[in-house]
């Protein structure tokens, strides 16, 4: 079951030490954070559902329960390091940065790029091959205060997933299941 809605502009963070379970690929350590965005609604859904789809072939309904996909506009210009550009190899960056499960490496890169003066990191997406991209936007951990505006017409993430041909499976409640003794 997912936690409470934190809003589209939520900047997640990791503890100062090793990445904690549930921290994101490019999360900065507290008190800083990273807001993970995708270039298209379809890519946003694939990135959330990707681990379930790869592991099981379907998405657990609770993962998408109450989630929406919003079209957002950055409130200010940002200087982003494009780690998916061909020139990134000049800085010893490879596509592995966006696919490895070793988040201690990816989070170290995020810290280094932030320390070098970048406001964000533009990158290839792990579960969405092609031209869609992600933006890891750096900021203060949590929700901005005052809040930033969300998209005008948020759409159900579950409906988006189904429109992409992904199976969303919701377990029945215990009241809907008859337990038969062996």
Lowest mean pLDDT among 2-11, 39-48, 144-153: 2-11
Query: pTM for this one?
Result: 0.83
Q: Are the beta carbons of 67 and 7 closer than 8 angstroms?
A: no
For residues 39-64, average pLDDT: 87
Q: Are the beta carbons of 124 and 41 closer than 8 angstroms?
A: no
Q: Are the beta carbons of 123 and 131 closer than 8 angstroms?
A: no
Lowest mean pLDDT among 29-33, 72-76, 78-82, 85-89: 72-76
Q: How many CB atoms are closer than 10 A to CB 103?
A: 19
Q: Is the pLDDT of residue 110 over 80?
A: yes
pLDDT of res. 1 = 34
Q: Is the pLDDT of residue 160 over 50?
A: yes
pLDDT band at 154 (very low <50, low <70, confident <90, very high): confident
For residues 42-50, average pLDDT: 89
pLDDT band at 151 (very low <50, low <70, confident <90, very high): confident
Q: What is the pLDDT of residues 82-109, one digit of tens each?
A: 999 999 999 999 999 998 888 889 999 9
pLDDT of res. 182 = 84
Handedness of CA 82, 87, 90, 95 (dihedral sign): positive
How high is the mean pLDDT of the chain? 86
For residues 143-160, average pLDDT: 80
Q: Where are the domains of the chain?
A: 13-170
| CA proximity to 33, closest of 145, 143, 139, 148 | 139
Task: Give the DSSP per-residue string, 63-93.
Answer: HHTT-EE-----SS---EEETTSGGGGGGT-
């Amino acid at each position: 079951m997912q936690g409470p809605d934190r809003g589209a502009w939520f900047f997640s963070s990791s503890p100062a030490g090793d990445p904690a379970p549930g921290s994101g690929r490019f999360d900065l350590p507290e008190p800083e954070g990273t807001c993970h965005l995708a270039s298209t609604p379809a890519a946003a859904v694939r990135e959330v559902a990707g681990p379930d789809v790869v592991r099981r072939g379907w998405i657990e309904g609770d993962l998408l329960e109450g989630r929406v996909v919003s079209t957002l506009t950055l409130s200010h210009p940002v200087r982003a390091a494009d780690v998916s550009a061909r020139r990134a190899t000049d800085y010893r960056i490879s596509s592995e940065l966006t696919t490895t499960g070793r988040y201690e490496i990816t989070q170290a890169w995020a810290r280094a790029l932030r320390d070098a003066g970048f406001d964000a990191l533009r990158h290839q997406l792990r579960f969405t091959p092609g031209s869609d991209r992600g933006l890891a936007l750096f900021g203060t951990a949590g929700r901005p205060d005052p809040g930033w505006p969300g998209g005008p017409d948020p759409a159900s993430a579950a409906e988006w997933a189904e429109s992409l041909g992904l199976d969303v499976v919701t377990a029945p409640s215990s009241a809907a299941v008859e337990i038969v003794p062996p």
